[in-house]
Structure 1
């Protein structure tokens, strides 16, 4: 009987994570202009999950490209950046092999940058048809910023504007600068344990560590320890966000290691040759770069250098002086207002079919 009860509770709990909170009027009635749904969409042969939320489905569609690859970020975007749902129809997408889109049946050979670009474009086509819009706007965070630059370079006609948030612009240089940051910080703080760790894993060679994923995770943990990921403490820890999420189960976190093992070989392929200056020197879409002053995860100085070189019909660089890599969660009010200002007016009525 106890086993049956536990199984029933688990089914109820997991089932609750297949729905999303509805939008209601002040008197508690369902807001008839709104959209609040979770969809499992087949994208290039793989079923992938999107949560779509907005107070008015006629608003511009905003597609989030999360970090990673393989990041479990959507509860954070929903919590810290949820006010964007007032101005946009926001699409929270778990990319191929990430979050609720993870499946052990995904072929590792399909985990390529070209495939992710194709997936993004296929989802974009579906969203344009679903919401009867000729263009959508993109926001890409970290890895999503890199992905987004490739997407708009290849398919400019589908996007009204793109906002790159803490993107990575150069694999080998970024890794060298990030490693030096942790080494210098450990030396200044006389952190014996950290120095031993850094000495053991050694500096990256051509953007990669000789011990692979394990070494990368250890180095990134030190970047976080020294304030290069989060400059100021987030208001709600990640574990609480998953526990309070209606859309995601806490059990999603248990997939983390499997997701990382699926995703990491793609990084090994991409990182040594990653150079946006050469690969995406120009785009035909307005672009906005948001950089955290203290970002040493994807060092912002290198991204600012890329910003100066990239050609676009319109471009802007916005600094977040109290943030590191997670600026959209560290300074959410500033970020959300900026997205509404820059992207919310970019889709005029003429863009609607």
Structure 2
């Protein structure tokens, strides 16, 4: 009979999947080899010439008994110094600065610190029990002192994003004399409550859209049913999948963690191949072997921090459900500070500094550097 020896359709389908996967792996290997560098590019002017007053370096500094890596960049090294505390736990963000330039380095001398156990600051065999919130706060304060001494500043500016905002706001409370101001982006307050609000919002959205398949999958991780399953919600990566699917994750327009995060890391010119691999090894290590995630969900910052002695600014995207903008605003309202301001970004989710960088930098120039809050949301 004609066609008797033809392979079943499912065989061809599986074969096509295998071929596709192999092609993706080969493409990734090519990209990694092409972009494997680990060196910093100098900052250049409009004519392509290196800016004489600029700084662009990757360095390692001994801090509190461990080796911490960081990137420092500025068009003018005499600019005010800004320490950036990244999110995660364990997700450095300098690669996003490469892909989505913020312009911060034209206003500040920016130090993109990679926290103990993360990225450049990871090494195999690290003692997991030594990596705690208190230790990261201590490290951040020590790095702040290093930056003051190196650049001849009495004080610097402190910026924390997401997870880094939990560390940053504690640093600001513990060592206010080191800082001109504290800037919290997607500021954490009560992260467990934030996750419950996000879960409710996403489940309701899928139901309203008639997407029963995703609604049913999400319901399996309900915080109202099983704490263990809710914890698996994070470990499995499903949380990131649904947040990015609905535009409430890293960026409102970023719908894929693979293309939005993984590829930019692997094609970064600032990291060597080994350092790129270490970013992912470190992220897994911090999530599975340390107490950081447990500490994050146990922290109820509005109960712990009532007063900050320095100007305090919170900036949130209206689409952010990774960290609740509503809870961040409530947190700020309960803080007594010399001056404070809350800023909503109408076209952003979790990362307004990368999503609406022009507005973000303007706030830094007009309000933060002048100690004002004229551009903040009106009550």
CA 1:109–1:225 in 2, change beyond 3 Å: closer, same or farther?
Answer: same
**1:313 and 2:333 aligned:** no
Aligned residue in 1 for 2:168:
148
Name the counterpart of 1:331: 356
Q: Deviations over 1:76-100 (max 9, x none)?
A: 1244344221121111111111122
Q: Structure 1 length as normaliser, TM-score?
A: 0.86
> Contact 1:160/1:285 (CA < 8 Å) preserved in 2?
yes
User: Is 2:315 aligned against 1:290?
Assistant: yes
Say if 2:256 is the partner of 1:231. Answer: no
The 3-state SS of whatever aligns with 1:228 is: coil
**Pairing partner for 2:270 from 216, 241, 247:** 247
- Work out the CA distance in 1 between the residues paired with 2:151 and 2:225: 46
Task: State the shift of 1:260 in Å.
Answer: 2.9
The corresponding residue for 1:113 is 133
Q: Deviations over 1:185-219 (max 9, x none)?
A: 22222323322322322316898755446556212
Say which one has the larger Rg.
Answer: 2
Within the candidate set 270, 273, 281, 2:306 is matched to: 281
User: Paired residue for 2:4?
Assistant: none
Distance (Å, rounded) in 2 between the aligned partners of 1:80 and 1:99: 19
Deviations 1:3-26 (A, max 9, x none): xxxxxx989965x31x21113456
Contact 1:209/1:216 (8 A) holds in 2 = no
The answer to whether the 8 Å contact 2:35/2:267 transfers is: no
3-state DSSP of counterpart to 2:117: coil
Q: Counterparts of 1:45 and 1:221 in 2: how far apart (Å)?
A: 37
Residue in 1 that maps onto 2:117: 97
Measure, in 1, the Cα distance between the counterparts of 2:63 and 2:310. Answer: 24
Contact 2:314/2:341 (<8 A) preserved = yes
* TM-score, scaled to structure 2: 0.80
Tell me which of 255, 258, 277 is aligned to 2:281.
Answer: 258
Q: What is the alpha-carbon distance in structure 1 between the residues aligned to residue 254 and residue 322 of structure 2?
A: 16
- State the distance in 2 between where 1:157 and 1:67 align: 24
1:66 aligns with 2:86: yes
1:165 aligned residue? 185
Query: Partner residue of 1:34?
Result: 54
Structure 1: unaligned runs, 5 residues or longer: 1-8, 347-353
State the match for 2:209 in structure 1.
189
Distance across 2 between alignment mates of 1:299 and 1:82:
23
In the TM superposition, what is the alpha-carbon distance from 1:245 to its structure 2 partner? 2.9
Would you say how many aligned residue pairs link Structure 1 and Structure 2? 335
Partners of 2:220 and 2:95 lie apart in 1 by: 35
2:153 alignment counterpart: 133
